[in-house]
Amino acid sequence: MSILANLSIVIVTFLTDKKTLMNCLNSIDKRVEIIIVENSPKFRNKKFFLNKFSNLKIYCSGKNLGYGGGNNFGLKKIKTQFALILNPDTILDKHFFSNMNLILKNRGFSLIGCELLKNKGFATGGFFNSKKNDEFKKNFSLVPRDSLTKVDWITGSSMLINFKNLKNKKIFDENLF
């Protein structure tokens, strides 16, 4: 059995257009369970997506719960040890899941932030201490891409969660929309 069978992906949408979501879903390995949380009463094109992706489940929250509330809603549906939070406009690199296999074997982590390849100066992780953060940014290009770096914070656009090392599945502060 592939270790990817122990991974689920949560994608929170709010009336996301069909092409954007198709691009995202097409970049996901077919062995991974995908949960879409539509932050509204009705998901457009539900039958279309369910017919295209046998590894997909779609839930409507009934109202816009925001980013944190939508992700917590989806995380409650997961039965796997690992979850990947993914924004619907993300397209995963063709090597993402082969690299993910290596990461999932290292079970000592709680949260891992993913590097955004076509990132336009948007930090995906760092430190609260500005001096330490400046040093990290300066040396980031020297960090090998197959290694992990411990940081104080990561962004939520692409975040890997190991539930084994967390107390509960409520990861996000729902007061932050």
Distance CA 162, CA 155 (A): 16
Distance CA 93, CA 77 (A): 26
pLDDT at position 142 is 47
Look at 130 and 56; give whichever has higher pLDDT: 56
Domains in the chain: ranges and CATH: 3-119+155-165 (3.90.550.10)
pLDDT band at 144 (very low <50, low <70, confident <90, very high): very low
Lowest mean pLDDT among 11-15, 88-92, 167-171: 167-171
Q: What are phi and psi of 105, to 5 degrees?
A: -75, -25
Mean pLDDT throughout 48-72? 95
